[in-house]
Structure 1
Amino acid sequence: MEGISKQAEMTTKNPDWITRLFKSMFNLFSLFNLSRTNTIFFTCISWIKFNFCFCKAAAFPSGLVFSYKLAEKAIVSVFITYFTEDASESDLRIAIAFVNGQEALSALLYIFIVYLSQAFSGHLKRIIFCLIVAYTCGLVILGLILFGSFSFLEELVYLLLIIGVILLAVGRAGLMPFVRRFTAEQLEAHEADKKNIKEERVKAREEIWWRFAWVAGSFVAIPLFNRSWPLRLITTGWVMGITFVLFYLATPLYHKREVAATSTTRIAEKPFTCIRVVRAALLNRHMEYPSSPAHFFHYKNINDELELWPQVKLLRWIDKAAIIESESTLGHEEQEKVGRLCSVTEVQETKYILKLIPMWSTFLVFGLLLSAGNTFSAQQGIQTESPDLLIYLVLLQSITRETVSTLSRFLLSKWFPKARLKQNMMRIWAGMLVSVLCSVVLWWVEKHRRLDIDKNDYRFYGYNLMSIWWLAPQFLLLGLMDGLAMYGLEGFTIDDDHLSRSMKNFLPAINTFIVTGIGSTLNIIFVFCSNKILSIIV
């Protein structure tokens, strides 16, 4: 009774806390009134309808994405460790040549495979079949080499190793672009019976399917990463083979895509367009600029401008490749066949590509840093006290890259809704600044690791290596710089309403070759010629 009376006295003396409690509860419930709840509910429903759909034809290609991402995380991301187990310094250089050579070859083949996809757009399943076979055979060959299955062919082991790396590069180059394009076509066909089909909705749903497969493949890679290299390679090859069998068996479920009368596109009929346009412009350098847009070959511009898009003063001379030579005895088709005349569309695409060269040149050093960071970071990871945890740092880099790309695109679109060029430029600038910080961190961590090795002679005193979490900042920064700069570059190159769909598919392949392909090649050159380069600089 005394306790109750004391509590009653405290309540009567301090009634303010009860008032504040009821006020806070009232404010909380007022935030979630009926109208606001309905608004939130219908907003969530509309978002789900826009981004999600169940399409059986898109589920099976997602299985290929799952196996592809499994191989990327469990094998390709740490591919240098395949060559460097108990390796000397000279073997490390050979390993870097193999790994970066595979990256450069994959980036180069990406361009040719995208070109083939434009030429044979009605045969995607056949091309995917060839790529799956190449990828699977590459994985199996690399696994059998470690199993010692070719021990009786020791003099041919290097040749088999090169064949396996080439097959791996071929599969990596084209599998993901083809699978994503096939998935997008199935989603477009799935929406064919509905009105107001939006490209943004198809792209959003494609992203959802891709993200789901990406997450599943990444998580399955965690237990597989701790297995031996032969088992890892053979298992991944089997998973890829099984997913392809399921993909092939689901053929009756796929939507049939109507192919145009000409099975090849304009890009396939006239390869090496840029070279042809520049050659025609040089041959027509003596011609005067036209007084009317009608003098341009296949001119379809409603603005009747005399300078073709994009209007760059230094590139205006290329417009002469599309000027019809009225005094010539040859017809328009004959002039085109002999290489003296190109269409307006070809000239515009060539000018746009040449306009991007200054931007691409700024990414050469960026690509070198990205290639070196991805290569040496994995090698540093297996020389730490917990090499089995390296997979988590690889996932940290991937998650950071995808998160920062999505978050930066969302925030910049809110802050600068109409300035798309400014959004992409800000992402590129931020990525370049992060790359400078990343290079400093990479140097500092490697310096710390070298000092640790010098202080402890591991040959006699055993392994007392540094913690693997020393490498976490550099993996985080590599993901940041990749997610900001690379996605900014992609938006900068393809975010133009004048570009055709085929050109938007082709430009990301060139971006990959400039950054990954040339960057990996420069990394090989610097590794093999570092002493000579330093002597020249000093």
Structure 2
Amino acid sequence: MNSLLRISAQLWADILVAYAFFVMQNYLTDVWKLSFTHAAGILNIWGGIHMILPVFLLFLVDALLGNFKMLLISSTAYSVGIGFIAMSTPPVLASSTNTCKQYEPQCIGHTQKVLFYTGMALLAVGMAGNLVSVRPFLMEQKDKLDDDEEIQSFLSSSVLVWVAFIPVIGAIALPYVKPWSLRFGIPAIFTAFVTLHFFSGSLDYHQVDPQGSPLTNVCRVFVAFFYKKSKTIPRDSMQLYRGEDENSQSFSRTRFLRCLEKAAIVLPDSKLEDQVKNRWRLCSVAEVEEAKIVVRMIPMWITFIVCGIVSSIGNTYFIEQANHMNHKLGNWKVPLQILLLLYMWARSLFSLLAVGFSKISEKHGPPVGIAIAMIFSVLCCITAARIEKRRINVIRSHGLLDKPDDDIPMSVYWLLFQFFLLAGLDSFFEKSAAAFYEDQAPESMRNYLSYFTKAISGLGFMFSELSVYVVGKVSENGGGTNWFQ
């Protein structure tokens, strides 16, 4: 029970950090005084990196480290990273004059910038490592128990009730902490406590040794192919190498990328036993076919970059829209984090719909779900554009164009429509894409499916920044004004 509690606490730390980072756009624009395109660029590049990293970290887990060692690394990186970001705020470490402690750009010196960017890098590693290993490591602990009674007791305990309350606490309490040093410092303290608590149980955990990564087999196929690229593929498939477990099975040789079958050619100038020992020179037919499937998925992955581009605007441009709008609900000035809380709840609802939709028809459900996600992305962009047009009209009608720090007499709840559609996009895309790949991908690659999908979304985050840069440069031609300013 204690082991499960120590491990699951890693997930709670993620939630508090997520709420602190939801307003990072405001921190960079209000304190660092960056343009919102510059601030959004920093966050989108960071978001892309931390979504791509899980694929590489999962490979390290399977091939070298195992989940326990990965959690040791990621937990340490997580706590040190958010700690560095808290230390980078001006009151914590003053500049070289030792007197500049205000939240102003002149108080952001070289030391603060180094701490901030180093902390962001470490935090990306920590978040990716936790994403990869926390849940699998929890599953490994089940093997240590004699029955499921302790697991069921844990799942039904009040501990998990707190998981539901932590987002509410983070959304309501954290925004009322005004100093930025404390906004980042409180999650840093909590994360450090969770990390030490996890380390305290190191001797009690059940650890599973790494079993090897299926990505290695894909790489082996390409290495063996290049080694034998001058060879001719035999017409008789029986002349290709089949593993010991494959001799009694029949494999359909797809015509797609037939050239890769050269990796399974048995060379006549040496013994088969010697060739089998050198796994980077000879692959089985099944391994070649699995590599073909992976290559065949690449065009579909590239298509999904567009969904990532739309998703990237949620915690950057949408937050910039909301920054000076009317937050009041009666006499209560609602914090911006409530938008994130409502987005998360809407995403949970859409996730249930997406999963149910996929189960209704295992063959047609996932592709249709992906199409629904793309429709959500179109509707989200149209809605956001219409609401932004309305917001600009309100600014003009009240003479606020030259007063960027004044509040705009327009309710922030207009933005709920686009956040709702964004939740639908993210949920249907994640669940339907995972179900689609589970049906199409080889069984050995299924652990990587969700992370490949997240990685493609991460590329979309980066392409979003590239599109902003290109559009900005084009709009400035002939002395024009950058559209994004």
TM-score normalised by structure 1 residue count: 0.75
- The correspondence for 1:224, drawn from 156, 174, 177, is 174
Task: Kindly indicate whether the alpha-carbon contact (under 8 Å) linking 1:66 and 1:217 is maintained by their aligned counterparts in 2.
Answer: yes
1:296 aligned residue: 241
Q: Is contact 2:74-2:130 (8 Å) kept?
A: yes
Q: How does 1:285-434 map to 2 (within 5 A)?
A: 286-289=231-234, 291-293=236-238, 295-298=240-243, 300-301=245-246, 304-305=249-250, 307-308=252-253, 311=254, 313-325=255-267, 327-329=268-270, 331=272, 333-334=274-275, 337=278, 339-386=280-327, 388-413=334-359, 415-416=360-361, 420-434=362-376
Cα separation, 2, equivalents of 1:435 and 1:339:
43
Partner of 1:450: 392
Q: Percent identity?
A: 23
**What residue in structure 1 maps to residue 26 of structure 2?**
81
Q: 1:276 to 1:213 in 2, by over 3 A?
A: farther
Of 247, 251, 255 in structure 1, the residue corresponding to residue 198 of structure 2 is: 247
Q: 1:242–1:435: structure 2 CA closer, same or farther, 3 Å change rule?
A: same
**Superposed displacement of residue 83, structure 1:** 0.7
Structure 2 distance, partners of 1:452, 1:289, is 72
Say which structure is richer in helix.
1
One-letter amino acid of the structure 2 residue matched with residue 171 of structure 1: G
Conservation of the 8 A alpha-carbon contact between 2:77 and 2:123:
yes
Unaligned runs of 5+ in 1: 1-54
Deviation at 1:368, TM superposition (A): 0.6
Could you tell me whether the CA contact under 8 Å between 2:84 and 2:115 is conserved in 1? Answer: yes
Match of 1:96 among 12, 16, 40: 40
Shift of 1:209: 10
Separation of aligned partners in 2, 1:342 and 1:207: 47
CA distance in 2, matches of 1:475, 1:185: 36
Distance in 2, matches of 1:388 and 1:279, equals: 57
How much has 1:174 moved relative to structure 2?
1.1
Tell me, in whole angstroms, the C-alpha distance in 2 between the residues paired with 1:227 and 1:442.
30
Measured against aligned partners, the alpha-carbon deviations of 1:219-263 in whole angstroms (never above 9, x if no partner) come to 221211332322121100111122223333344554x34x4xxx5
Specify the alignment match of 1:476 in structure 2: 420
User: Which has the larger Rg?
Assistant: 1
Indicate how the Cα distance of structure 1 residues 301 and 138 shifts in structure 2: closer, same or farther if over 3 A, else same: same
Structure 2: runs of 5 or more not aligned: 97-108, 328-332, 478-485
Match of 2:139 among 184, 197, 203: 184
Normalised by the length of structure 2, the TM-score is: 0.83
User: Which moves more between the two structures, 346-355 or 96-105?
Assistant: 346-355
Q: CA RMSD in A?
A: 3.2
Q: Which residue of 2 aligns with 1:165?
A: 120
| Alignment partners' CA distance in 2, 1:535 and 1:359 | 34
How many residues are treated as equivalent by the alignment? 453
From the superposition, tell whether residues 450 and 286 of structure 1 become closer, same or farther in structure 2 (CA, over 3 Å). same
Contact in 1 for aligned 2:79/2:195 (Cα 8 Å): no
Give the direction of change, closer, same or farther, for the CA distance of 1:429–1:285 in structure 2 (3 Å limit). Answer: farther
- The amino acid across from 1:350 in the alignment is A
Whether contact under 8 Å (1:226, 1:388) holds in the other structure is no
Aligned to 1:466, the other structure's residue is in SS state: strand
Q: Quick one: structure 1 residues 452 and 518, their matched pair in 2 at CA, closer, same or farther if it must change by over 3 Å?
A: same
The residue aligned with 1:129 is 72
For residue 332 of structure 1, report the CA deviation from its aligned partner: 5.1
Q: Deviation at 1:304?
A: 3.9
Change (3 A) 1:434 1:421: same
